[in-house]
Amino acid sequence: MKQGRFVVIEGLEGAGKTTAIQTVQQWLQEQGHPLVQTREPGGTPLAEQIRTLVKSVQQERVSPVTELLLMYAARAQLLDNVIRPALERGDWVLADRHDLSSRAYQGGGRQIPDEVLDPIRQLVLADLRPDLTLYLDIDPVIGLERARARGELDRIEQEQLGFFQRARAKYLAIASSEPNIVVIDAAKPLADVQQQLRQALEQHFA
Ligand code: TMP
């Protein structure tokens, strides 16, 4: 069976994911790989509706477990309808966020323990794991400043600094123990970030 590769871009708000995605997209196209791009939460009509729900400010407190389950509901939909079929066709998938976001934001930020996360991850992901995750690391003070400069903040972006500091700590802790996650220093100038990205891709897929 043909099998594509699964590349994920991760990072806090304001880390520069959009620009990084363009760099990775260009590299993949240069290599001639057929490419499918996704984003999470979102990427299918139903999952995009869930995205709107989780990002919008609600009249009531949103329970961390509700938020977690909505993220995984959107992910299940995207995996079944887009990501798994693409990989089975032999396409490469370039994802704007994936499971690591839930581990960082809901696990780290919302402090949901691994005992709660793990069975849900198992249910939704089964044995699917990204081939490479490029994590753009940024101090949330700088990242949030950039996000604020872009315009109005959504429900999650309105969280306190401590939430993002816990999310960053979780990203870094997981990255230090999983070899397929590469930490990119996103505080560096753009050309440097682009070089780090290309280098990681070349080392990983050479
Ligand atoms: P963004 O993709 O435009 O950054 O927006 C997605 C927001 O949702 C962002 O604040 C991160 C958050 N998020 C989670 O909290 N958990 C998740 O699993 C995912 C995919 C995103």
Give the nearest ligand 1 atom to 72 CA. Answer: 18
- pLDDT tens profile 23-39: 999 999 999 999 999 99
Does ligand 1 have an atom closer than 6 angstroms to the CB of 201?
no
Here the tokens at position 175 are: 């990255």
Distances (CA, A) of 55 to 52, 98, 158, 178: 5, 16, 10, 29
* Residues composing the chain: 206
- pLDDT tens profile 1-15: 568 999 999 999 999
Q: Is 1 a member of any domain?
A: no
173-178 long-range contacts (CB < 8 A, ≥24 apart) are 174/100, 174/103, 174/104, 175/133, 175/135, 178/133
Give the nearest ligand 1 atom to 17 CA. Answer: 4
Using alpha carbons, select from 195, 163, 71 the residue that is nearest to residue 171: 163
Per-residue confidence band for 80, with pLDDT thresholds at 50, 70 and 90: very high
pLDDT at 117: 98
Distance 168 CA to ligand 1 centre (A): 13
CATH code (residue 115): 3.40.50.300
Does ligand 1 have an atom closer than 6 angstroms to the CB of 97?
yes
Q: How open is the CA angle 40-122-92, to the nearest 5 degrees?
A: 45
Residue with tokens 């880390």: 15
pLDDT at 122: 98
Which domain covers residue 200, as residue numbers?
6-205
- Mean pLDDT computed over 77-90: 97
Q: Is 186 a member of any domain?
A: yes
| Top-confidence residue, 178 or 206 | 178
Q: Is 29 a member of any domain?
A: yes
Q: Beta-strand (E) ranges in the chain?
A: 6-11, 35-39, 92-96, 132-137, 181-185
- pLDDT tens profile 90-136: 999 999 999 999 999 999 999 999 999 999 999 999 999 999 999 99
Q: To the nearest whole number, what is the mean pLDDT of the chain?
A: 96
Q: Are 117 and 30 in contact (CB under 8 A)?
A: no
Domain count for the chain, please give it.
1
Here the tokens at position 40 are: 């999470």
